[in-house]
Amino acid sequence: MKSIKGKHLVWLQDWSPEEIETVLQTAVTMKAAFLSGVRPQPLSGKTLAMIFAKPSTRTRVSFEVAMTQLGGHAIYLGTNDLQLGRGETVADTARVLSRFCDGIMIRTFAQKDVEDLARYSRVPVINGLSDLVHPCQILADMLTIIEKKGKLSGIRFAYVGDGNNVCHSWILGGTKMGMEIRVATPEGYEPNRDIVEMGRESAERYGGNLVLTTDPAHAVRDADVVYTDVWTSMGQEKEREQRLKAMQPYQVNAKLFSGADKNAIFMHCLPAHRGEEVTDEIADGPMSVIFDEAENRLHVQKALLALVM
């Protein structure tokens, strides 16, 4: 497996298929060991600084528990715990934190904050989420698909809804792993054009495929995986009514899901707005693996932390 010690995870565009595979294989091994009661602590004595400009249930708990299980320590730093809000630059924050800690995770609004943090940090920086991308979520999703489907290459993956940060990371990551990524969004809510171009280049290079459409039924037809996310993300609350109206035809319900492969699984990064992007019938049905996904945030992040720190 390829060594990725010291590598930043700013977004998956900077990661090769071999590096992604290294994280996934390590996660499989570490999860199996954990479930059998074997719990090594390779990060004993190490500390992860966790910067949260955006609150989160899964990101905070999974990273904090991951560091504890690996023998290390995590420090939660909200906006009131840092001098960023009082004018200190991201660059200076990176320079200081990287002299104290062995790694930095940030969950924020601007992708530039993640990039600046990585540029000036002496230690690896992990993007826990930005408005542009959500790479850790996609790594956990990939682990879940491998568990349920046995592979990534050749998987027909349908993303339905808003062309947001999760959608972007699937375009960047899925195409590199030889998947067919189908994205169905309403007009005006398409994924970022530059990211689409990167996805097309990766698909051509690595044997994947990228399909963009406004027809959710077309995207879902015979799909192995059907995926959605909230229609209104943090910071978009003023657009809520407009978004609900535009995206109603993209709700993952029994009718839409019936077009997928008979063994298709349903995925959602959570939190879910039930009754909006997905119905209870699907979220709680036998096709749903949403809580397996959530659990795998812990295991894939343990692998990631152990490898880069």
Is residue 185 domain-shared with residue 279, that is, in the same domain? yes
Residue of 8, 58, 229, 243 with catalytic role = 229
Is residue 169 domain-shared with residue 119, that is, in the same domain? no
Residue of 58, 60, 107, 168 with catalytic role = 107
- Catalytic status, residue 200: no
Residue of 8, 60, 156, 297 with catalytic role = 297
In three-state form (DSSP H/G/I as H, E/B as E, the rest C), the secondary structure along the chain is CCCCCCCCECCHHHCCHHHHHHHHHHHHHHHHHHHCCCCCCCCCCCEEEEEECCCCCHHHHHHHHHHHHCCCEEEEEEHHHCCHHHCCCHHHHHHHHHHHCCEEEEECCCHHHHHHHHHHCCCCEEEEECCCCCHHHHHHHHHHHHHHHCCCCCCEEEEECCCCHHHHHHHHHHHHHCCEEEEECCCCCCCCHHHHHHHHHHHHHHCCEEEEECCHHHHHCCCCEEEECCCCCCCCHHHHHHHHHHHHHHCECHHHHCCCCCCCEEEECCCCCECCCECHHHHCCCCECHHHHHHHHHHHHHHHHHHHC
- Catalytic status, residue 134: yes
Considering the chain, what percentage of its residues have pLDDT values greater than 70?
A: 99
Range of the domain at 28: 12-133+296-308
* Residue 22 covered by a domain: yes
Is residue 212 domain-shared with residue 278, that is, in the same domain? yes
Is residue 154 domain-shared with residue 59, that is, in the same domain? no
pLDDT at 237: 78
- Catalytic status, residue 83: no
* Residue 37 covered by a domain: yes
Tell me if 258 sits within 8 A of 283, measured CB to CB: no
pTM of the entire predicted model: 0.96
Is residue 19 domain-shared with residue 58, that is, in the same domain? yes
pLDDT at 1: 76
Per-residue pLDDT tens over the stretch 214-224: 999 999 999 99
The Cα–Cα gap between 18 and 26 comes to: 12
Is residue 203 domain-shared with residue 94, that is, in the same domain? no
Residue of 134, 243, 268, 299 with catalytic role = 134
Is residue 159 domain-shared with residue 288, that is, in the same domain? yes
Is residue 61 domain-shared with residue 143, that is, in the same domain? no
Is residue 31 domain-shared with residue 142, that is, in the same domain? no
* Number of domains within the chain: 2
Is residue 181 domain-shared with residue 213, that is, in the same domain? yes
* Residue 6 covered by a domain: no
Residue of 13, 69, 137, 301 with catalytic role = 137
Q: What CATH number is given to the structural domain containing 89?
A: 3.40.50.1370
* Residue 270 covered by a domain: yes
**Average pLDDT, 10 consecutive residues per value, the chain (309 residues):** 93 98 98 96 98 93 98 94 78 96 97 97 98 98 98 98 98 98 97 98 98 98 98 80 94 98 98 97 98 98 98
Q: 281: which 2 tokens?
A: 């019938």
Is residue 63 domain-shared with residue 123, that is, in the same domain? yes
Is residue 146 domain-shared with residue 284, that is, in the same domain? yes
* Residue 301 covered by a domain: yes
